[in-house]
A and B are shown apart, each in its own frame.
Chain A
């Protein structure tokens, strides 16, 4: 048995409580509150204490999906990314960069939000990027 504790930050609200993920043989088994963090000082709310529970739910998406005739089919990464990149390039050529828009996420990391706006601004060429802080 190999047991690890990984310090990280809770995924729910904006408090930003420190949590410790308990990993047994590579499997996430539980959550503990970070003790020294100035935000939560060793406490967690009911959502924080259970924040590992959704991770392995059977409904997790495990492969890219492409819709054909209204039905989703599992596919490989190459095909899925090819479809997306090809379609975005085609739409940009036909209708210009401003005909493409993206929503980044208040759930994703800073690095991911940074890259998403960079993708839209530098790779596509539009400032049509927003997220749901308003919602």
Chain B
């Protein structure tokens, strides 16, 4: 693709884009301040395209809203590219000058004529044509996506398809264009940038690269392993097989966020030694042998990196609550006791070290972050930061087209499980609810979980809004309140994943994308029963 894992362009640029294609992002509920920019773009005359099976809030502002069948994004995108190429709307000069492998793409999307794509996706040929024309012909066009694209067994294929589409129309490396993943968490970008990944150090430097390894051996004064480690999902399996005996979890709640709750609970029961560091007693912390109390964002110094690569300061406003300690200090103490001393007097000294070993953060100091922060890459102390990526050339040189074939989701509906389930967020809550459900105002807005169900399905199963329903999948069952609404199409249920007592992840499937190992939260088969 292009060679970097982040939003290519900046949030502010969306406002001046002339076409915004939103796919797999419930933008106005999950990223409200980014949705604001999209609405401003609309007011300035931009065409808004939304591809989402649900009639989400931002779909009401869309010029074109299509409701593709769950898990058919690759087919949809191939169909759009098929039309663009057959009409001759592709960016020929850009393809020639900046990309490679175009012939392969051309050949593969030829297998996705509009009629066939319409049959797979449920989107009309007329709508496919309209999307292709709007995206290809606008003076600038941005793609915005989130977990609706990535949380599939074909997550990597979906992202590659978006990259194909953007390059086909010359939309990468230009102002108010690009491929823009919206990170769900305040520092999901930073956690990746900092090397909280099994195969890379900070700045995506590979652990199995000998040169990189030597550099970190010297910087850290240790003999480091060149063997990539286990991903979260592989850790779970390794614990089951007895290969991993100790697990240290900082600030995460996999019991509620992992795709297969019953499985993760059995794993956490099995692991010999579990340490959890968090600010609340989470569902996950219950299984720990030792719990270390960390602090909230208000009680410590540091930086977060947002979804547009902007590194910004976090500043301590109050003293830690009780005897809790800043997480970075806890790690330092632990490292000292293990026999590898970490000497940092303040968080800024850690950033100074990050800067010295991480080229993309090479020019970032706390002093320079006062004000609006800095967007990486920012390699030197004079560098102003980078508004959009791949301006002259791609990180990897030429942009790489790939041939992507449509593959159906891991689970399809059948006689036993005739409905499909998808999951996501609600506007007042956040992730596993550890923080938002402790906030009185937010809790008052939405106290319990619910399942959106289409009125036709509700009628078919004799369900009224006062009933409770049981939702059953091959993994488990939950009882939940129905919300009868046309927001979901017939045959599809939607459950937000914030509510541990009606946990969507008791139902979802742990089938993974083969490359990214991301679970398919967005599609599984279920049945419903009315609770007597």
Q: Are A46 and B445 in contact (CB under 8 A)?
A: yes
Which B residues touch A61, using CB under 8 A? 278-281, 291, 293, 322, 324
CA distance A112 to B190 in the complex (A): 10
Q: Are B222 and A122 in contact (CB under 8 A)?
A: yes
A2 within 8 A of partner (CB): no
Q: Are B254 and A135 in contact (CB under 8 A)?
A: yes
B265 within 8 A of partner (CB): no
Q: Are B33 and A45 in contact (CB under 8 A)?
A: yes
B282 to chain A, nearest CB (A): 10
- Given known contacts A13-B30, A85-B338, A91-B245, A132 and B280 CB-to-CB distance under 8 angstroms: no
Q: Are A43 and B280 in contact (CB under 8 A)?
A: no
CA distance A45 to B291 in the complex (A): 32
A interface, over-half SS: mixed
* Chain A 53-75 interface residues, beta-carbon cutoff 8 Å to B: 53-57, 59-67, 72
Which B residues touch A12, using CB under 8 A? 186, 430, 435-436
Which B residues touch A129, using CB under 8 A? 195-198, 229
Interface size class of A (residues with CB under 8 A): 35 or more
Per a CB cutoff under 8 Å, which of A23, A43, A87, A116 touches B317?
A23
* Chain B 334-383 interface residues, beta-carbon cutoff 8 Å to A: 334-335, 337-340, 342, 347, 350-351, 353-354, 371-372
- Given known contacts A64-B290, A121-B225, A123-B335, A53 and B440 CB-to-CB distance under 8 angstroms: yes
Chain A: CB-nearest residue to B288: A67
A1 to chain B, nearest CB (A): 16
Per a CB cutoff under 8 Å, which of A6, A54, A65, A101 touches B436?
A54
CA distance A49 to B208 in the complex (A): 44
Q: Are A43 and B196 in contact (CB under 8 A)?
A: no
Per a CB cutoff under 8 Å, which of B221, B225, B289, B427 touches A97?
B225
Which B residues touch A21, using CB under 8 A? 298, 317-318
* Chain A 99-135 interface residues, beta-carbon cutoff 8 Å to B: 99-135
B18 within 8 A of partner (CB): no
Which one of A11, A97, A128 has the highest number of Cβ atoms from chain B below 10 Å of its Cβ? A128
- Given known contacts A45-B32, A97-B225, A135-B232, A13 and B186 CB-to-CB distance under 8 angstroms: yes
Among B106-114, B168-176, B300-308, B453-461, the stretch in contact with A: B300-308
Which A residues touch B335, using CB under 8 A? 115, 118-119, 123
CA distance A101 to B246 in the complex (A): 6
Which B residues touch A7, using CB under 8 A? 313, 315
- Given known contacts A108-B187, A115-B331, A53 and B442 CB-to-CB distance under 8 angstroms: yes
Which A residues touch B298, using CB under 8 A? 8, 21, 28, 52, 55
Q: Are A104 and B297 in contact (CB under 8 A)?
A: no
- Given known contacts A81-B333, A81-B337, A110-B194, A13 and B185 CB-to-CB distance under 8 angstroms: yes
Q: Are B185 and A112 in contact (CB under 8 A)?
A: no
B251 within 8 A of partner (CB): yes
CA distance A91 to B274 in the complex (A): 12
Give per-residue flags for B258-302: 1 if the beta carbon is below 8 A from chain A beta carbons, else 0: 110000000000001101001111000000111111101111111
CA distance A56 to B201 in the complex (A): 35
A32 within 8 A of partner (CB): no
CA distance A33 to B369 in the complex (A): 18
Q: Which 10 A-B pairs have the closest CB atoms?
A: A62-B322, A16-B306, A109-B302, A14-B183, A127-B229, A105-B251, A123-B340, A104-B196, A85-B337, A106-B185
Additional pairs, 17, CB under 8 Å, beyond known A16-B306, A134-B517: A4-B317, A13-B31, A14-B188, A14-B307, A37-B372, A46-B441, A55-B321, A60-B293, A60-B324, A62-B321, A85-B338, A102-B248, A104-B251, A111-B354, A118-B335, A132-B257, A134-B231
The contact sample of 12 A-B pairs, CB cut-off 8 A, is A9-B186, A16-B186, A51-B439, A59-B281, A63-B323, A65-B293, A88-B338, A98-B229, A106-B187, A112-B331, A119-B334, A119-B340
